[in-house]
């Protein structure tokens, strides 16, 4: 959502790509710091859209990652965004979509201020790595069965699960994206080693307040013999203001139920064009 989209006409025939799409845009920003996110999508005749590839550029890094430079508000510049390498077949009657946004939360951290980007479409373009039919460079995998290491016998003591949810508080203007992963708990019968773990992550942001962004991450892991397991519990929180990131966390290590090590940290890190 909250993207400007450009759709092609329905394709008259199948169109294949292989390589890295590149988008060249002439744009300006009203803020010195901004990100741009470009997604290449395949849209079916009934309107379903599937992401094929995407690229992200912190516009302060438009010239160099080693020496970032802030944007000059209102000044138009050409920037090139290389998308991830991909191989894809667009079917006849589908459309090719380009979706452009300045946010991609929680995949990327938002800029300190919400920017407004102005794109000059007449001199902007998309270069697709077209792969013509019958190009003669097809790779055919071996027909023999794959060979790999033998897997030892395991016994599940607790099966795992995965959950992803989104919670919107309209009253507070808050959006939470929650990921919960239970890796389960199992025993390697060959050695008697037991392994298990859990992850919990919340990415939270308030509408129209980019410096309200925060992530909370919790991780626990257990490994060892059933009569003497080793485990750790980690909890971190990342937040920010206009100038700095704030990272706080704790990590505790246990032998059986006895805590044998504990560490806490509270760091302030300059944003440095982020």
Q: Which two tokens stand for residue 176?
A: 């939470």
Cα distance between residue 214 and residue 202, in whole Å: 8
Closest by alpha carbon to 40, among 57, 27, 64, 22? Answer: 22
Q: Supply the pTM of this predicted model.
A: 0.85
Could you tell me if 272 and 33 are in contact, meaning their C-beta atoms sit under 8 angstroms apart? no
Look at residue 133 in the predicted model and tell me its pLDDT: 75
State what percent of residues in the chain have pLDDT above 90. Answer: 88
Average pLDDT on 94-113 reads 96
Q: How many helices (H) and strands (E) does the chain have?
A: 0, 18
pLDDT given at position 158: 94
Distance CA 271, CA 43 (A): 37
For the segment 199-255, what is each residue's pLDDT rounded down to a tens digit? 999 999 999 999 999 999 999 999 998 788 999 999 999 999 999 999 999 999 999
pLDDT for residue 150: 77
User: Does position 258 have pLDDT exceeding 70, yes or no?
Assistant: yes
Sign of CA dihedral 73, 4, 175, 163: negative
Residue 149: the pLDDT is: 80
- What is the distance between the alpha carbons of residues 192 and 211, in angstroms, rounded to a whole number? 48
Cis peptide before 106, with omega less than 30 degrees from 0? yes
What is the rounded distance in angstroms from the CA atom of residue 185 to the CA atom of residue 157?
A: 5
- What is the per-residue pLDDT for 269? 97
Tens digits of residue pLDDT in 38-89: 999 999 999 999 999 999 999 999 999 999 999 999 999 999 999 999 999 9
- Is residue 218 classed as helix, strand or coil in its secondary structure? strand
- Which pLDDT band, with edges at 50, 70 and 90, does 160 fall under? very high
* pLDDT score of 137: 62
User: How much is the pLDDT for 147?
Assistant: 79
The answer to whether residue 1 scores a pLDDT higher than 60 is: no
Q: What is the pLDDT of residue 241?
A: 97
Domain ranges of the chain: 4-127, 154-270
Q: CA 57 → CA 163, 191, 244, 247, distances in Å? A: 30, 47, 20, 24
pLDDT at 79: 97
In CATH terms, the superfamily for domain 4-127 is Galactose-binding domain-like (2.60.120.260)
What is the reported pLDDT for 138?
A: 64
As a whole number of Å, the end-to-end CA separation of the chain is 22
Averaged pLDDT for residues 182-190: 94
């Amino acid at each position: 959502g909250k993207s400007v989209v450009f759709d092609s006409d329905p394709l008259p025939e199948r169109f294949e790509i292989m390589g890295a799409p590149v988008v060249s845009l002439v744009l300006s920003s009203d803020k010195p710091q901004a990100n741009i996110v470009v997604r290449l999508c395949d849209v079916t005749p009934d309107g379903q859209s599937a992401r094929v590839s995407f690229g992200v550029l912190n516009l302060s890094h438009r010239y160099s990652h080693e020496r970032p430079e802030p944007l000059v508000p209102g000044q138009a510049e050409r920037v090139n965004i290389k998308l991830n390498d991909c191989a894809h077949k667009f079917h006849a009657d589908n459309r090719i979509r380009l979706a452009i946004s300045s946010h991609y939360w929680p995949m990327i951290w938002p800029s300190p201020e919400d920017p407004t980007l102005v794109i000059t479409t007449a001199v902007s373009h998309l270069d697709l790595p077209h792969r013509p039919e019958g190009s003669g460079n097809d790779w055919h995998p071996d027909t023999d069965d794959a060979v790999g290491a033998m897997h030892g016998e395991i016994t599940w003591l607790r099966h795992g699960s995965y959950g992803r949810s989104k919670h919107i508080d309209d009253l507070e203007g808050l959006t939470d994206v929650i990921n919960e992963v239970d890796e389960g708990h199992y025993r390697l019968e060959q050695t008697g080693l037991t392994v298990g773990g859990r992850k919990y992550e919340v990415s939270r942001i308030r509408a129209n307040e980019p410096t309200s962004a925060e992530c909370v991450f919790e991780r626990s892991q257990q490994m060892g013999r059933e009569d003497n397991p080793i485990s750790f519990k980690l909890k971190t929180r990342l937040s920010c203001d206009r100038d700095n990131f704030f990272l706080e966390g704790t990590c505790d290590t246990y032998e059986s139920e006895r805590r044998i090590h504990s560490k806490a940290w509270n760091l302030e890190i300059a944003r440095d064009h982020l």
